[in-house]
Amino acid sequence: MLQYITLPFQKLQPFPEHFTSLFAPTGLVGVIPDSTFWILANSFYWIFWLNLMVGLTNALPAVPLDGGFIFADGVTGMLGKVRSSMTAESKEEIVDKLVSFLAITVLFLIIWQLVGPRLVGTEPVTLNADIDASITKGWSDEIIEFDASGSEGAFVTYEWDFGDGNTAVGEKVQHNWSQGGLYFVVLTATDAEDRQSVAFQEIRINHKENGEGEVDGGDEEIISSTINPYVKNIHFYINLTGQNGLVGIESDITLTITSPSGVIFEESYSLANNEQLFVEEEVIGGDMVGDWEIILESNDPVSDFAYNYNWETYFQDSA
């Protein structure tokens, strides 16, 4: 109850940074800068809380709640049902005593929360988990180090969640992501009395993959990848080489790139033996989250060819 009553004095924020970084105001309020919008949202929250608390407890007058007699009215109603024979004067006397006691208790708890620990010689416990990341923007399979030694508090355990199903324990850990995307690393630090503090760190991971191979005449090769949310743009770099071993006969090749919404690129090429062709394609915008494919197709039995590719996916911040 003490923590609930004294919420505004515990530096608790109803919309923390890791939450506000995921959303942006739209519509009529979209003209307000993001930082100003969240300050206003937090302010309205506290105004509501203060009116609710003083209204329920009648500790102080609350104009929006008509003096804060919700609690008093509730007790009066209960007494009327439990003891219908009680006189109005008796009900009023009981309600006045209860309301006065609760009001004094609330005011005492608020004051004690502020000055009590100092009076008895016990300072409030400071618990503030902190994440220090070696980098916040990197590439898939790149190792990133995380350090919680800057946290404030006598923590005994540090638990990490990397947002991809992997976890770790320790004051200093490291991790790498196999897929690109926007991840939120969560640190939960716990002290000897099982009190916790939580910290968050946004990590942006771009994805790069490459490979090579050969396609026999009449066959096809499909290269697949799944693109996560917050994708910004995608680059394809593909090199094709005719490889049928025949003089005067060209390899007939079709290159297709498909996105979650369908085919976005499709071209056919004719390449002589050992002739090379470089294809570059960039995709920005549209339906980009989901399954993608590069389809390399030989269109006849004598159209053997080789290929190599680089596939780079870039992601954006949440803000």
Q: Average pLDDT over the chain, rounded to whole?
A: 82
* pLDDT interval class at 264 (50, 70, 90): very high
Residue 312: which residues within 8 A CB-CB, separation 6 or more? 206, 207, 208, 234, 235, 237
At residue 78, the pLDDT reads 78
Length of the chain: 319
Q: What is the pLDDT of residues 151-190, one digit of tens each?
A: 988 899 999 999 999 999 999 999 999 999 999 999 999 9
The per-residue DSSP string of 283-310 comes to EESSS-SEEEEEEEEE-STT--EEEEEE
Contact present, 149 and 218 (Cβ < 8 Å): no
* pLDDT interval class at 225 (50, 70, 90): very high
Render the burial of 206-242: b for 16+ CB within 10 Å, e for the rest.
bbeeeeeeebebeeebebeeebbebbeebebebebbb
The domains located in the chain, with CATH, are 2-119 (no CATH), 132-206 (2.60.40.10), 216-315 (2.60.120.260)
At residue 254, the pLDDT reads 96
* pLDDT interval class at 63 (50, 70, 90): very low
Give the phi and the psi of residue 204 in degrees, each rounded to 5: -105, 120
* pLDDT interval class at 65 (50, 70, 90): very low
Q: How far apart are CA 163 and CA 165, in angstroms?
A: 6
Q: Which tokens hold the place of 281?
A: 């394609």
Residue 231: which residues within 8 A CB-CB, separation 6 or more? 180, 288, 289, 313, 314, 315, 316
Q: Which tokens hold the place of 278?
A: 């470089």
Q: How far is CA 158 from the centre of its chain?
A: 20
Q: How far apart are CA 255 and CA 312, in angstroms?
A: 18
At residue 18, the pLDDT reads 57
Q: What is the pLDDT of residues 272-288, one digit of tens each?
A: 999 999 999 999 988 89
| pTM attached to this predicted model | 0.62
Vertex 205 angle, CA 201 and 210, to 5°: 165
Mean pLDDT calculated for residue range 60-86: 62
Closest CA to 207 of 295, 319, 311: 311
